[in-house]
Amino acid sequence: MTTAAAVLLLGSSLTAKGAAASRAVGPWACAGLASGADSMNPKRWACEDSVGLVPLEGGGVLACVADAHWGGKTAELVCQGLADAWGQARAADPAARLREALFLLDGRLLERGKDDRSETTALVVHVQGRALAWANVGDSLLLVVGREAAALKNQPTPVFMGGRPLATLPVPVEVGTATLAPGDVVLLATDGLEWQASGLDPEQVAVALRRDGPLLARVDGLLDHVNRRGRDNLGVVAVAV
C-alpha cells in the first residue's frame, strides 16, 4: 500500500523545450523533469522522460526514472504503474521484488496498441532506512552522494523495455543492493545527466547536491543547468538519508 503523497511527473506535461517541473515529498525526497533546450537526438515529444516517487506505508519509498525514445508513452506507463506492480510482486527481497515488478510492467508494455512504438529505460529503486535496492534496464544512472565521495552504483547498458520481452534482452535485468550512511543522497537520473549531455561530471553533481539548503532547491539547480546548457532531457529523483 502507498500513501497519497506520491509524486508523478510525466514527459507529456512538459510541452516546450526549456520547460521544467519539480516537486518534493517533505524535506527528504524530491523529483524533477527538464526538457533541455538543445537535443543530441531527435525527439517526438518535447520531453520523453518521466519520473515517480512513492512513499510507502510503514516507511520506505519507491522511486523511478524512465527515458523513452521515439515517443514518451512507455516511460509514462512505467512510472504510473510502478506502485501497483510493486504491490502485486511477491518476492520478499526488495531487489528481487523490484525485478519482478519490472517484468510485470514489461508485460503491460507489450500489450500496447500498434500506434505506440516507443521504448524506454527503467531504473526503479527502493530505499528504507539505510537499505538501498534497485533494478535497472538501460542507461540511467544511480549515484550515491556521500559527504566525502560519490559512487555510481549501477551498470548502465544500451537496452530498452517495450520493444521485445525483457527475458530476450542481450543483458539481464540488473539488480543490486547497498548500505547507505547518514547524510547520503541517493540520486536517480536519466542519461541527460551524463557528462556528454550535461557537461557535469559525477563530482560536479555531488558538489551541487552537497550544498546547503533544501534538497529540492539543489535538484532544481541541476534542472536549471540542463535547461540552459544541457543537450538532452533530464529526469531525476533524489532521496536523502
Instruction: End-to-end CA distance of the chain: give it in Å, rounded.
Output: 22
Structural domain includes residue 1: no
Above 70 in pLDDT, residue 1? no
pLDDT at residue 58 in the model: 83
Question: Which residue in the block uniquely carries the three cell numbers 552537497?
Answer: 210
Cα 201 to chain centroid, rounded: 18
Give the mean model confidence (pLDDT) for residues 186-200: 92
pLDDT at residue 6 in the model: 93
Amino acid in position 65: V
pLDDT at residue 229 in the model: 86
pLDDT at residue 141 in the model: 97
Q: Using CA atoms, how far apart are residues 65 and 79, in angstroms rounded to an integer?
A: 7
Give the mean model confidence (pLDDT) for residues 220-225: 93
Higher pLDDT, 230 or 108: 108
The enclosing domain of 215 has a CATH number of: 3.60.40.10
Domain span at residue 218?
A: 7-240
3-state secondary structure the chain: CECCCCEEECHHHCCCCCCEEEEEECCCEEEEEECCCCCCCCCCCCCCEEEEEEEECCCCEEEEEEEEECCCHHHHHHHHHHHHHHHHCCCCCHHHHHHHHHHHHHHHHCCCCCCCCCEECEEEEEEECCEEEEEEECCCEEEEECCCCEEECCCCCCCCECCCCHHHCCCCCEEEEEECCCCCEEEEECHHHCHHHHCCCHHHHHHHHHCCCCHHHHHHHHHHHHHHHCCCCEEEEEEEC
- Residue 120 confidence class, pLDDT cut points 50, 70, 90: very high
- Domain count along the chain: 1
pLDDT at residue 17 in the model: 87
Q: Which of these ranges, 56-70, 159-173, 192-206, has the smallest mean pLDDT?
A: 192-206
What is the pTM (predicted TM-score) of this model? 0.96
Structural domain includes residue 174: yes
Q: pLDDT tens, 80-94?
A: 999 999 999 999 999
Amino acid in position 38: D
Structural domain includes residue 2: no
Cα 105 to chain centroid, rounded: 15
pLDDT at residue 195 in the model: 87
Higher pLDDT, 40 or 201: 201
